[in-house]
Structure 1
Amino acid sequence: MERTGHLRVPGATLYYEVRGSGPALLISQSGEGDANRSDDLVAQLVTDHTVITYDRRGLSRSVLDTPGGKASVAQHADDVHRLLAALTDEPVTMLGCSLGAVIGLHLAVAHPGLLTTLVAHEPVAPWLLPDDERARHVRELVEIQDVYEREGLAATFAQVARVLGIDPHHQDTEPDLTAQPMTPRRAENFAFFVRNDFTAVVDDALDLAAVAALKDGGPRIVPAVGRATPHAVFDHRCAEELAALVGADLVEFPGGHNGNTTHPRAYAATLRAVTR
């Protein structure tokens, strides 16, 4: 099965794609990634999963009713809730990458019956961290926004890579990956991501007790990190704190923060292993 569609949600219209057959798996992307960010990974999964991907509101084909409008992480999670309600009557597995992982945690707390398992790969969630770390990383995110406004896209990429522990010049990848050039649409997505979603992450909060309670009756939470992600950086630390909070082992996936795009074959194999 392969189809695309649009769904009206409060304040926006969401674009989505449904591919493959089998149990439903929703992928919520990282950064400026839209429904096609993980096409190489999706190609590995469609033989035994019905894979749902979508453009977050404000990205690509998911258009805001009010141009220049904003979105909170909770609003992104409500969009996923409405999308799943429109597409399936059964709970699904969710892979959330970076910001997508935080969206998944909001969804798990607000609508626990929608998910069977959430694989939360390196959630960018300052609220998971001790106060001193949280304040430091919030400052980093705000500084990156300032760099974007002052110096533009290229300088911002370098800062994002530093904060997330990505070495773009020495990054191991699998062969024959689909190219992801910096098209005008992707540049527009990146602008929305930095200007809106960084602020959404900084302002975001979830009750730690509510997240911890998921281990006693909510969907299974699988905190995940990239094998190549340095242990001291923001995203790895958030995953460590999540693992401690929900009483789960930290699972290593191939690659680093963007292992879903750099190692799609090995990433798919690991995803199958931890969700079966």
Structure 2
Amino acid sequence: MSDMTSGLVAVPGARIHYEVRGTGPVLLVLQGGEGDAGRTGGLVNGLVDEYTVVTYDRRGLSRSTVDDPSAELTMETHADDVHRLLAAVTAGPAILLGSSLGGLIGLSVAIRHPDQVGTLVTHEPPAVRLLPEPARALSERVFDGLEETYRTEGWGAAFTKLAEITGGATEDREPDAELPAPLSRERIANMHFFFTHDIPAIRRCRLEAADVIALKAASVRVVPAAGRASRRGFFDYRCAEELARLLGVAMVEFPGGHNGLTTHPKAFAVRLREVLRAPRDYS
């Protein structure tokens, strides 16, 4: 991996740890699940010769501490953290790549701070309020089941269930793909924070079709994306489809499934370069 520098940004109620590698236009990676700044090292390696890649620990994860661990977390809070992080690392619009929860955070940033975002690639964001009612109700039942499993059986069972729901198996991967580290004490703590704070924040998110339509008038280029191997009925995949429909653009497919950033990092980086080099009217 290329030389890395790191820093801390003070934000209301927390301190955000971030890492910077490479040279070129700033590209911020917003992780999904309980992923922190080190989760997508293989992907970052495939981009640092052309981009200044910034990764970070969301508040409450790993080295990003919070003042009040019991405080309610919202998507607006996550978006404000990214707004302040971007202001610390670049003076101009940045490229954002967000996956799953990270993709939803990216959308929230683009809606609230469009001047800071040049292009947003949002990969299977759980923007469930964009879905028609039958699919939205299904997503709510899925979240209900996850939270009930976490309460009654613990984080391990909930994590296994989440992997089944998202199709997050790692058997289909590039031969030298670097998988997430074993379940250390830090990663288990991240799991607890994700289930107790981030999933409720997703459920409370009020991002609506009107917000997406308003983005069409902004200067932000939004690229809805999904995994080529993702289950077509999975609600995050359906969210990417609905986002593309609302924007009037084509959804772009990437290698792998819901976690393609980690299972197919080299191919994902190649595809991302192609998408970022394509004309704005990519549909």
Identify the TM-score tier after normalising by the shorter chain.
Answer: over 0.9
Task: Give how far 1:241 is off.
Answer: 0.5
The reply on whether 1:62 has 2:74 as its aligned counterpart is no
Distance 1:70 1:60 in 2: 18
| Partner in structure 2 of residue 46 of structure 1 | 48
- Residue 46 of structure 2 aligns to a residue in which SS? helix
The reply on whether 1:73 has 2:85 as its aligned counterpart is no
Task: Give how far 1:209 is off.
Answer: 1.6
The reply on whether 1:226 has 2:227 as its aligned counterpart is yes
Letter of the aligned partner of 1:177 in structure 2? A
Distance 1:67 1:207 in 2: 28
- Residue 250 of structure 2 aligns to a residue in which SS? coil
| Partner in structure 1 of residue 281 of structure 2 | none
Unaligned runs of 5+ in 2: 278-283
Q: Residues 183-262 of structure 1 correspond to what in structure 2 (within 5 A)?
A: 183-262=184-263
| Partner in structure 1 of residue 88 of structure 2 | 86
Task: Give how far 1:145 is off.
Answer: 1.2
Task: Give how far 1:115 is off.
Answer: 0.7
Distance 1:43 1:166 in 2: 22
Q: Residues 124-143 of structure 1 correspond to what in structure 2 (within 5 A)?
A: 124-143=126-145
- Residue 223 of structure 1 aligns to a residue in which SS? strand
| Cα pair 1:122 1:257 within 8 Å, conserved | yes
Deviates more, 1:123-132 or 1:249-258: 123-132
Deviations 1:221-268 (A, max 9, x none): 110000110101111111101110111111110000000000000000
| Cα pair 2:130 2:208 within 8 Å, conserved | no
| Partner in structure 2 of residue 8 of structure 1 | 10
| Cα pair 2:127 2:207 within 8 Å, conserved | no
Distance 1:271 1:153 in 2: 33
Deviates more, 1:137-146 or 1:253-262: 137-146
> Closer, same or farther in 2 for the Cα pair 1:131/1:218, shift >3 Å?
farther
TM norm structure 1: 0.96
Q: Residues 15-34 of structure 1 correspond to what in structure 2 (within 5 A)?
A: 15-34=17-36
Task: Give how far 1:138 is off.
Answer: 1.4
- Residue 95 of structure 2 aligns to a residue in which SS? strand
Task: Give how far 1:151 is off.
Answer: 1.0
Deviations 1:62-96 (A, max 9, x none): 10011333311111011000000111101011000
- Residue 267 of structure 1 aligns to a residue in which SS? helix
Distance 2:169 2:208 in 1: 33
Distance 1:224 1:260 in 2: 12
| Cα pair 1:163 1:234 within 8 Å, conserved | no
Deviations 1:184-219 (A, max 9, x none): 111110111011111111111123222112223331
Letter of the aligned partner of 2:173 in structure 1? T
Distance 1:193 1:245 in 2: 29
| Partner in structure 2 of residue 273 of structure 1 | 274
Letter of the aligned partner of 2:5 in structure 1? R
The reply on whether 1:173 has 2:161 as its aligned counterpart is no
Distance 1:165 1:259 in 2: 11
- Residue 216 of structure 1 aligns to a residue in which SS? coil
| Cα pair 1:128 1:241 within 8 Å, conserved | yes
Letter of the aligned partner of 1:178 in structure 2? E
Letter of the aligned partner of 1:33 in structure 2? G
Letter of the aligned partner of 1:94 in structure 2? L
- Residue 3 of structure 1 aligns to a residue in which SS? strand
| Cα pair 1:55 1:61 within 8 Å, conserved | yes
Distance 1:243 1:96 in 2: 15
| Partner in structure 2 of residue 36 of structure 1 | 38
Identity %: 50
Distance 1:70 1:192 in 2: 11
- Residue 45 of structure 1 aligns to a residue in which SS? coil
Q: Residues 154-169 of structure 1 correspond to what in structure 2 (within 5 A)?
A: 154-168=156-170
| Cα pair 1:57 1:71 within 8 Å, conserved | no
- Residue 161 of structure 2 aligns to a residue in which SS? helix
TM norm structure 2: 0.93
- Residue 36 of structure 2 aligns to a residue in which SS? coil
- Aligned CA RMSD, in angstroms, stands at 1.3
| Cα pair 1:213 1:246 within 8 Å, conserved | no
Letter of the aligned partner of 1:43 in structure 2? N
